[in-house]
């Protein structure tokens, strides 16, 4: 049941793998809420965003099958994320050092 099978066009992810990812996502949610309640203030912004990024990575890799996709989709995702990062970086360098 848990074994993943391969195909030329598509890939089947076992229920067990998906459930494990779901448990990890719930654990990370509990962690981020705990951090927010126990470490108030602005200092944990980066920690919260790092946890969110980890959760997003799990969703993209497993639920959205990106881990099993070919080179084209992976590169496109990479380019999209780098473009977004450049927008954010340029905007902040403008806003913070104006």
Partner 1 sequence: MSHQTRKDPAGAKLGMWLFLFTELFLFGGLFLLYGVYLARYHREFAAAGREMHLGFGTANTVILITSSLLAAMAVTAIQRSGRRLVLYLLGGTVLCGAVFLFNKYLEWSDEIGHGIYPGSPRLAAGPPGESVFYSLYYLTVGLHGLHVLIGGTLLAVVAARVGRGTIHAGDFAWLENGALYWHLVDLVWIFIFPLYYLVL
Examine residue 82 and tell whether it contacts partner 1 (CB under 8 A). Answer: no
- Give all strands (DSSP E) within 14-87, no chain letters: none
Q: How many residues belong to the chain?
A: 98
Instruction: Output the smallest distance, CB 86 to partner 1, in A.
Output: 11
Among 14, 75, 78, 82, binds partner 1 (CB under 8 A): 14
Instruction: Output the smallest distance, CB 87 to partner 1, in A.
Output: 7
Examine residue 6 and tell whether it contacts partner 1 (CB under 8 A). Answer: no
Report the C-alpha gap between 32 and 51 in whole angstroms: 7
Examine residue 18 and tell whether it contacts partner 1 (CB under 8 A). Answer: yes
Binding to partner 1 (CB under 8 A) within 34-63 occurs at 35-36, 42, 44-45, 48-49, 51-52, 55-56, 59-60, 62-63
Among 3, 38, 71, 72, binds partner 1 (CB under 8 A): 72
Which candidate, 13, 14, 48, 69, places its Cα nearest to that of 56?
Answer: 48
Which candidate, 20, 27, 23, places its Cα nearest to that of 4?
Answer: 20
Instruction: Output the smallest distance, CB 44 to partner 1, in A.
Output: 7
């Amino acid at each position: 049941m848990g074994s993943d099978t391969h195909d030329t066009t598509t890939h089947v992810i076992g229920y067990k793998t998906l459930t494990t990812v779901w448990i990890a996502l719930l654990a990370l949610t509990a962690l981020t809420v705990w951090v927010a309640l126990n470490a108030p203030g602005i200092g944990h912004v980066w920690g919260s965003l790092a946890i969110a990024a980890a959760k997003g990575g799990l969703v993209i890799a497993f639920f959205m099958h990106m881990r099993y996709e070919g080179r084209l989709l992976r590169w496109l995702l990479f380019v999209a994320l780098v473009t977004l990062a450049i927008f954010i970086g340029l905007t902040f360098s403008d806003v913070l050092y104006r």
